[in-house]
Chain A
Amino acid sequence: MSHILLEGIVKSYGSARILNNCTLSVAKGEVMTLLGPSGCGKTTLLRTLAGFVTPEQGQIVVGGTEISHLAPNRRSVGYVFQNYALFPHLTVADNVAYGLKVRRRPASEITERVGHALELVALEGLGGRYPAQLSGGQQQRVAIARVLVLEPEVLLLDEPFNALDAKLRLTMQVELRKLIDRVGITSIFVTHDQSEAMMLSDKVAVMRAGQIEQVATPLDIYDKPVNDYVAGFIGRANVLAVDVRGGIVVPAPQVMTTRGDGPARLIVRPENLAFSDAQTAWPGKVFFASAQGPTIEYEIDTGQMQPLRLVVQRKAGQYPLPNGTAVHVGVVDPAGCIVIGSAAGV
């Protein structure tokens, strides 16, 4: 049973349609990521759930109750802002206590719960500081403690790692995922970083231009993207124009498909391509090569619009092929390829 249900959400600003019939369901305890480029409406969708944005159509159900018409302060939805939006005039402890004070809890209970919340995010002892005296990572933890102390049904996080530097980001991602598992709260993240989505989430919803393109587990999205956009957004992908003739893809005859004859597109991950001797594969020239240590990445010019990307394992002492070397490229695992319709008729 879904814990959060967004159904047919529509939102426009003037003539621009920001959310176009978005439907999303999140199971209890699940961590969902809304992934998409900036401007795709992912933050607006999250703000709709928190009540900061009123959609024109659609309904929002959390834990079986429809909350579409509730004011933001009546929703049991914790929101962690992109830059944390900590109250600069309150100490860390007062920031965390804010929601409890609004709810008029007794002072002793507030002290105890604030203590627990700060302990949960490993900030005990920093309660007396002001937000400006904390590092970015600490501020993020205060923002999380501030909403978790209220024990909301749902945790929403808007690009929570954006304000952190790359090194800290990785540690905080792992820490946050562990924390969410410990609390067991249903969470929705917003991010434009695909590796963050892979690392944090049970499920990923890929968005484009106000629409949800695909919802699946990160690996399913990687292995079975529904279209070239999703394929390109999670990981890297080669999208090749091919022909289907009698269930066989030309020029990669190992790949079978149930599609009818005609032009189609083949999605192949770079690691699912290799150099081959067979004359049936794509002929081309090495256009660019870079050795990464464990792997070598090639760009092969096959005369198509985009060069073919190819990743091969590297053995010790091995050097990349020089640019201009004539090669043939073939598919390694036909099962890992996806055939979709051509750009015109998906």
Chain B
Amino acid sequence: MSDYAAHRQSGLPVFVRRVLHGGGFWPALPAIVFLVIFLVLPMVTLLAFGFVTIERGRIVGETLTLQHLQSALQDTLIWRLTWRSFYVAVISTVLSLILAYPVAYLFSQTKGIWRMLILVAVISPLLTSALVRAYAWLVILGGRRGLLNQTLLNLGLIDQPLRLLNTDWAVIIGMTQIHLPFMFLPLLAVLSGRDRRLEEASRNLGAGQVRTFFSVVVPMSIPAIFAGLALVFAVSYTNFIVPQLLGGGSYATLAVQVYEQTVVVLDWTRGAVLATILLSSCFVFVYLIVAAGSRFSRWTERTS
């Protein structure tokens, strides 16, 4: 028997070896521990606050209660805020797709320095914090002296300054710009790595460039489209900085309300209940987006 075979046969029982191998689990352990301690546990704690009664920083009573959740769900204000969070996120997500797709397509068609420039232009917003960008929009959209109004007035395009700040539109514009990279990146990966021969085949079969784009390029990028939609929706739906800064003092979405209840009003119970609603409804919407995406790209699963 060779040394090699002897080495293989000696050693630990199968069960122990299987545990040691762990199916790739062990290298991921540090990250898992980190996430459990600093993400999962705090989140569970926070959400749990919604099911107990807190008075003066102390938990009152021994049992969990659904009472707070029930009262929140019966509150029409909460429903209005949820609805606003939803439609602002939907409009902003759709706008992101409409704006990002052509740029990602352009990127896939260009080479060399232009490619680099487009990439830098699209990624660079990620280099500054969302807070700074939201403030920048404040300067641009802000009242009579804001950059936008000033320019439009000077050009004589409008007589009265537009009232943009503190409206849905300010929030949507700011959000779309800030979240654009999340839509752009998955599209870029798929569009620039796509198989160009499929487009040649389409041309060869008689389809023009427009037809080829809609019949071949777009359907092939559906997984990326829906990945982008899910990402942008999730961050837009739960964003509170942009609505708070660009929506103004009297403007609120569900996420803003969570922040105010927890940090300003210090009603942790209500904050936790609203966070629960925000988080679970966000999960439902993202799940629906992902489900729709896999329904439209069922062909990717059909192998063998």
Contact pattern, A 133-152, Cβ under 8 Å of B = 1, otherwise 0: 10000000000001100100
Identify which of A16-24, A97-105, A277-285 touches chain B: A97-105
Taking the nearest CB of chain A, how far is it from the CB of B109, in angstroms? 16
CB of B206 within 8 A of CB of A99, answer yes
**Which A residues touch B220, using CB under 8 A?**
88-89
Indicate if A207 sits at the interface (CB-CB under 8 A): no
Give CA–CA (A72, B196) in the complex, Å. 14
Indicate if B216 sits at the interface (CB-CB under 8 A): yes
Closest to A103 in B: B206
Q: Count contacts on B: residues with CB < 8 A to the other chain.
A: 24
Looking at chain A's contact residues, the main secondary structure is loop
Indicate if B32 sits at the interface (CB-CB under 8 A): no
Contact pattern, A 45-73, Cβ under 8 Å of B = 1, otherwise 0: 00000111000000000000000000111
**Which A residues touch B222, using CB under 8 A?**
89
Give CA–CA (A250, B198) in the complex, Å. 58
Give CA–CA (A300, B178) in the complex, Å. 77
Give CA–CA (A83, B195) in the complex, Å. 11
**Which B residues touch A71, using CB under 8 A?**
203, 208
Residue from the list A72, A78, A89, A129 in contact with B200, Cβ < 8 A: A72
**Which A residues touch B205, using CB under 8 A?**
73, 98-99, 102, 146-147, 150
Known: A73-B208, A81-B197, A133-B304. A89 touches B299 (CB 8 A): yes
Centre residue among A81, A83, A88, A130 by max chain B CB count within 10 A: A88
Taking the nearest CB of chain B, how far is it from the CB of A75, in angstroms? 8
Residue from the list A85, A90, A150 in contact with B197, Cβ < 8 A: A85
Residue from the list A73, A87, A102, A130 in contact with B302, Cβ < 8 A: A130
**Which A residues touch B297, using CB under 8 A?**
89
**Which A residues touch B206, using CB under 8 A?**
73, 99, 102-103, 150
Looking at chain B's contact residues, the main secondary structure is helix
Residue from the list A72, A83, A103, A130 in contact with B204, Cβ < 8 A: A72
**Which A residues touch B202, using CB under 8 A?**
87, 98
**Which A residues touch B300, using CB under 8 A?**
88
**Which A residues touch B303, using CB under 8 A?**
132-133
Closest to B203 in A: A72
Known: A83-B197, A89-B220. A133 touches B302 (CB 8 A): yes
**Which A residues touch B200, using CB under 8 A?**
50, 52, 72, 79, 81, 85
Give CA–CA (A150, B195) in the complex, Å. 23
CB of A87 within 8 A of CB of B201, answer yes
**Which B residues touch A103, using CB under 8 A?**
206
Indicate if A77 sits at the interface (CB-CB under 8 A): yes
Contact pattern, A 285-321, Cβ under 8 Å of B = 1, otherwise 0: 0000000000000000000000000000000000000
Contact pattern, B 231-253, Cβ under 8 Å of A = 1, otherwise 0: 00000000000000000000000
Can you list the 10 inter-chain pairs with the closest CB atoms, starting with the nearest? A99-B205, A72-B203, A85-B201, A85-B197, A130-B302, A79-B204, A89-B299, A102-B207, A102-B206, A132-B303
5 A-B Cβ contacts within 8 A? A73-B205, A87-B198, A102-B205, A102-B207, A102-B211
